[in-house]
Amino acid sequence: MSTPGTAFGVYIHWPFCAQKCPYCDFNSHVRFGGWDEERFLAAYLRELNWVAQKISMPSHTASRTVSSIFFGGGTPSLMKPQTVGTILDHIAALWPVARGAEITLEANPGSVEAGRFEGYRAAGVNRVSMGLQSLRDSELKKLGRIHTVAEAKAALAIARDTFERYSFDLIYARPGQTPEQWRQELTEALELAGDHISLYQLTIEPDTPYAALHAAGKLIVPDEEIALALYEVTQDMTAAKGLAAYEISNHARPGAESRHNQLYWRYGEYAGIGPGAHGRLVVDGVRTATVAERNPEQWAGCVEDRGHGYTEITPLAPAEEADEMLLMGLRLAEGVDLSRLERLAGVAPSKAAIEGLVDLGLLQRVGLARDDSATWRGNELDEIAMCLGPGVPPEQPPAARQRRVGTFRETIRATPRGRFVLNAVVAELAASFAPVTPELFMDNRGAEH
Ligand code: SF4
């Protein structure tokens, strides 16, 4: 059904994988003896009930409409299709679901998983995101992946025929990879791509087998200069193919962006359900961070005992919201609307900090110095920025958006180079935060949530 309401996303974390990849620091676990799927299903449904109760609103406030659901992991394509269908039905019983809501499931491209695609489609999944990671068998082996390139291509063909939308991930900046090698692999990948592709640089995460190898000098990743060259190859080639970056690592044709991930980056509201899941819920008008127990069996036990598996339920202070909104929003090519930041958190970055970053070529002020090169999307960005999801209206009517509060009110966005060093850009801006007029902040804060 389609009911106007605040856009709301649901993330379901499935924590199990067939094998642990040596670079991975996600909350993923291997259970060679299998898992009790019925038990986990019951726990997911119960935690959903708890969240629905927690965020139920007084009748005079706006309702929520589920605009996207995302099954991530771990390897959600290890779930039975019936499990997925039961969870989707349960979500639809708790909240209105927007017509055409995006329902994504992450899948590994093995033949076993591909055999379940039809069942996921029947359950309601309309988008699949596949972890191909490389189009070179030798590289897949080094990444510890258990599928082959041939299997991945076969699974991709099935996905293309089964789902309305599909995407796949590749990892680049791998040990020894040169820009020319990446150019060749990316050329092949872009031939296989539909309207969305995710391209992640390999990062060495602490406490992984890759971190130990790296520390021992046995795994040497490209240095910063080569990594930047690889990043620029990626930006140029995807833009030339009509798949410009709309986020640091995500590329899509206009309108084909991952709406669920956009909800995160636009600092919307979402429930995180399952072991280790994070969420941002608005509870009694206050944005609240949730973090769930990471161990799957312990999480299920917590849910059975008290209705949820959260180990942290933390109301966020305005300053924390400002940091988060900036960090998430500057990942996006569309950038951050500073007037929204002011209304939400009551602060604004200083003009000097913004101009310093603009001078360094790391930041751009939209409307003052528009860059309509192929890397950006021109006017489309402004339109996309207005909406929170498919069929979901703009956050505010244009007149209200243009109302000016405080000193710096335009949208800022990181340039492609700025996104490459985003943490430093955000740190610089956050260090310059100054309070805006308190009355305007207090008047508008409720509306921003
Ligand atoms: S399949 Fe994905 S989630 Fe599982 S271990 Fe590998 S990278 Fe991590």
Mean pLDDT along residues 185-190: 98
Structure token digits, residue 372: 């309509």
Q: Are 231 and 420 contacting, i.e. CB atoms less than 8 angstroms apart?
A: yes
Say how many Å lie between the CA of residue 205 and the centre of ligand 1: 13
Long-range contact set of residues 135-139: C-beta below 8 Å, sequence gap at least 24 = 135/170, 135/185, 135/188, 135/189, 136/185, 139/174
Is the pLDDT confidence value at 2 over 70? Answer: no
Please report the pLDDT score of residue 323 as a whole number: 93
Residue ranges per domain, the chain?
Answer: 6-262, 319-448
- Mean per-residue pLDDT, 349-373: 79
Helix/strand/coil for 394: strand
Quick one: pLDDT at residue 18? 93
pLDDT of res. 393: 37
Distance CA 133, CA 116 (A): 20
Q: Measured from the CB, is residue 17 less than 6 Å from ligand 1?
A: yes
Cis upstream peptide for 361 (omega within 30°): no
pTM greater than the 0.75 cutoff = yes
Is the confidence at residue 51, as pLDDT, over 70? yes
**Region 109-131 average pLDDT:** 92
Residues 172-182, mean pLDDT to the nearest whole number = 96
28 lines ligand 1 (CB under 6 A): yes
- Counting from 1 in the atom list of ligand 1, the atom nearest the Cα of 17 is 4
Kindly report the CATH class assigned to 6-262: alpha beta
Alpha helices, DSSP H, located in 136-223? 137-142, 149-162, 179-192, 209-215
Looking at residues 343-348, what average pLDDT do you find? 87
Mean per-residue pLDDT, 264-282: 97
- The pLDDT assigned to 4 comes to 58
Question: What average pLDDT does the chain have?
Answer: 88
Tell me what the mean pLDDT of segment 237-241 comes to: 97
The amino acid at 86? T
Does 358 score more than 60 pLDDT?
Answer: yes
d(CA 133, CA 306): 39
Q: What is the pLDDT of residue 416?
A: 85
> What is the share, in percent, of the chain residues with pLDDT greater than 90?
78
Q: Distance (Å, rounded) from C-alpha 192 to C-alpha 157? A: 9
Instruction: Of 109-118, 120-129, 346-355, give the lowest mean pLDDT range.
Output: 109-118
| CA of 29 relative to ligand 1 center, distance in Å | 9
Q: How far is the CA of 24 from the centre of ligand 1 (A)?
A: 6
Q: Which H or E element spans position 359?
A: helix 351-359
Give me the mean pLDDT over the 239-266 stretch. Answer: 96
The long-range contacts involving 33-40, CB below 8 angstroms and separated by at least 24 positions, are: 35/296, 37/79, 37/80, 37/83, 39/300, 40/83, 40/296, 40/300
Q: Is the CB of 114 under 6 A from ligand 1?
A: no
Residue 199 Cβ inside 6 Å of ligand 1? The answer reads no
Which value, in Å, is the radius of gyration of the alpha carbons in the chain?
A: 22
Tokens 């309601």 appear where?
124
Least confident of 35-49, 94-108, 306-320, 399-413: 399-413
> What is the 3-state secondary structure of 77-146?
HHCCHHHHHHHHHHHHHHCCEEEEEEEEEEECCCHHHHCCHHHHHHHCCCEEEEEEECCCHHHHHHCCCC
**How many Å lie between the centroid of ligand 1 and the Cα of residue 440?**
46
pLDDT band at 441 (very low <50, low <70, confident <90, very high): low
Question: What are 309-337's pLDDT values in tens digits?
Answer: 999 999 999 989 999 999 999 999 999 99
User: In percent, how much of the chain has pLDDT > 70?
Assistant: 85
| Cα gap 97→15, rounded to integer Å | 25
Residue 388's pLDDT is what?
40
Select from 17, 129, 202 the residue to mutate for testing ligand 1; criterion: most ligand atoms less than 8 Å from CB. 17
The pick from 13, 14, 21, 27 for probing ligand 1's pocket by mutation, whose C-beta has the most ligand atoms within 8 angstroms, reads 21
Euclidean distance between CA atoms 238 and 190, whole angstroms: 8
For residue 108, give the ligand 1 atom closest to its CA: 1
Instruction: Say which residue, 84 or 447, is predicted with more confidence.
Output: 84
What is the residue whose two structure tokens read 């956009």? 262
Q: Is residue 147 within 8 Å of residue 170, measured between CB atoms? A: no
pLDDT range class, residue 102, cuts 50, 70, 90: very high
**Confidence at 104, pLDDT banded by 50, 70, 90:** very high
DSSP assignments along 303-352, one per residue: HHHHS--EEEEEEPPHHHHHHHHHHHHTTBTT-EEHHHHHHHHSEE--HH
